[in-house]
Amino acid sequence: MAILLTGGLGYIGSHTAVELLNEGEEIVVIDNLINSSLDVIDKIKDITGKSIAFEKVDILDEVGLRKVFSTYKIESVIHFAGLKAVGESVAKPIEYYNNNMTGTFILVKVMKEFNCKKIVFSSSATVYGSPKTVPIKEEFPLSTTNPYGSTKLMIEQVLQDVYVSDNDFSVAILRYFNPIGAHISGKIGENPNGIPNNLMPYITKVAKKELEVLSVYGNDYPTKDGTGIRDYIHVVDLAEGHVKALNKIRKDNGVFKYNLGTGKGYSVLEIIDAFEKATGEKVNYKITDRRAGDIAECYADASKAKEELGWVSTRGIEEMCKDAWNFTKNN
């Protein structure tokens, strides 16, 4: 029996694939390669010494998905696939709603057909909107400030409704904070196609002189230095959280929601400073206008994941910066 990873060659999916293989799991990866690369398959094999089954399939392709489920014995799904840039979602809302929502409808429909009823969903801290207080707990009110976040929140509701309709389902909803870093080998990491949307790959590309300057969106937020504060988590810590969540839904039926973060907030300028100290590289930056849909401050209370999953993040900000730079230098 295998675990299906949708979007499994992407940043978080590839690191989770490594952790699952290291645990002795059998995995099948599907990806449409829009924001990932086929060479990640060989890199996963280099790191783990194990092969993975891969099919180039889009989650909007119902026939293709059905073929995957009929070819492999899929016992559970970790659902990463989706468009994920906040700014782009504001500019292209229809594309985001269609891809993320419709793709999930098709996936769950095919899962039901093949009696596969365990799913770990890659959600996001964006479902908390602009929180009134921090740290953020799972029971906080939910709202969104951009279409990307709205798709995540709607999918959470869909999966809860699926469970209500069929209590044989088991759903883990993982609300990520801000994943950065890379595998210690330097073989896999965050390598988006085109101009990066996330902070760390932008920083590393500027440090590598591939981009001239980092844009810091806004320095007039009500924070210690005026720049946005986020909870940055090492991607390997995040991947380990998926393994723990999968083990949880194998044991228990229900809908389980967990914040995956460190519980510490760092501003954009603090991240730049930490990167420069960890790597010795200079990062040129300029302050620009705020970005649509961004909020001032966001960091997690991750105590529920510790209590129920036995999961805690163990890698600090310096390690995140060093690993991200190591990956960028090697690729």
Q: Is residue 148 annotated as part of the catalytic site, yes or no?
A: yes
DSSP states along 109-143: HHHHHTT--EEEEEEEGGGB-S-SSSSBPTTS--B
Find where tokens 């991200």 sit. 324
Measured in whole angstroms, how far is the alpha carbon of residue 147 from the centre of its chain? 16
Find where tokens 């060479």 sit. 39
Report the b/e string of 173-212 with b at 16+ CB within 10 A: bbbbbbbbbbbeebbbbbbbeeebbbbbbbbbbbbeeebe
The catalytic residue among 148, 163, 221, 266 is 148
Task: Kindly report whether the peptide bond that precedes residue 135 is cis, defined as omega within 30 degrees of 0.
Answer: yes
Question: What is d(CA 23, CA 39) in angstroms, rounded to the nearest whole number?
Answer: 22
Residue 254: C-alpha distances to residues 65, 167, 212, 220, 241 (Å): 25, 7, 49, 42, 18
Helices (H) and strands (E) in the chain, counts: 12, 14
Q: Which residues are catalytic?
A: 148
